[in-house]
Homo-oligomer: A and B are copies of this chain.
Amino acid sequence: MRISELAAESGVPVATIKFYLRSGLLPEGRQTAPRQAEYGADHLSRLRLIRALLGPGGLSIAAAGEVLKQLDQPPGSTHGLLGAAHHALDTGVRARAGQSMTEHPRADAMLASLGWNIDPADHLSRYRLEEALAGLEAAGFVPPPGFPEMYASAMRELAVRELEQVPLGSSSEAMRYVVLGTILTEPLLLALRRLAQQDVSAKNFADTAPPPSPAGETVPKHS
């Protein structure tokens, strides 16, 4: 199909598609005439993936480019997939961390007490944890005792079930699963967490706020 048909099919404007072509996110089409190229089903699915990474995935153009590069060149081992996937997703953290990334005392202490097996060369994941723990501390927010451990055990239970599902047949399929599973389920988890808090809050504090109407058309009840 031509670029105009690709635009119609995908719902992405021609100008945006041209921008993705220029940025290297979307591979060039097959040249059929001096100023005309032909695009296929691969382009369509790649375009949907780009939209998902930049939209709900919340990635920058640069980070999306790294993720796509990883998807195109899968690493050798199944466990290596995960490191490569996480690495590609962490462009922003790396930029913020700079030199200090190898210092992560709070994270080291917590991981040691959890007994988790983390690649010693992977400072990035530790730095993310360090940054989160230091942020709580800096804001003067002391989580109740046992809370970080409660989060850790909830996340580990999810990880066990998530990794049971990785398709091991093809490494490019596995890479795709791990990258998308990580990046696209993060917004899902966070959205569900806030909704779950609302549900629990509505039940716990029903006496302090009028109950929400089941009809779905009434005035806001937060007051």
On A, residues with C-beta under 8 Å from B are: 45, 48-49, 51-53, 55-57, 75-80, 82-84, 86-87, 96, 111, 116-126, 128-129, 131-136, 138-141, 143-144, 147-148, 150-152, 154-163, 165, 176-177, 180-182, 184-206, 208-223
Contacts and interface: CB of A to CB of B under 8 A. Distances in A.
Question: Binding site of A, secondary structure by majority: helix, strand, loop or mixed?
Answer: helix
A203 B51 contact: no
A198 B156 CA distance: 10
A221 B120 contact: yes
A151 B197 CA distance: 13
- How many copies the complex holds: the figure is 2
A180 B138 CA distance: 11
Given A52-B139, A82-B201, A143-B185, 6 more contacts: A77-B211, A79-B202, A86-B198, A122-B213, A147-B161, A148-B188
A57 B35 CA distance: 47
A158 B151 contact: yes
B222 A125 contact: no
B79 A185 contact: no
Contact of A213 (B121, B165, B205): B121
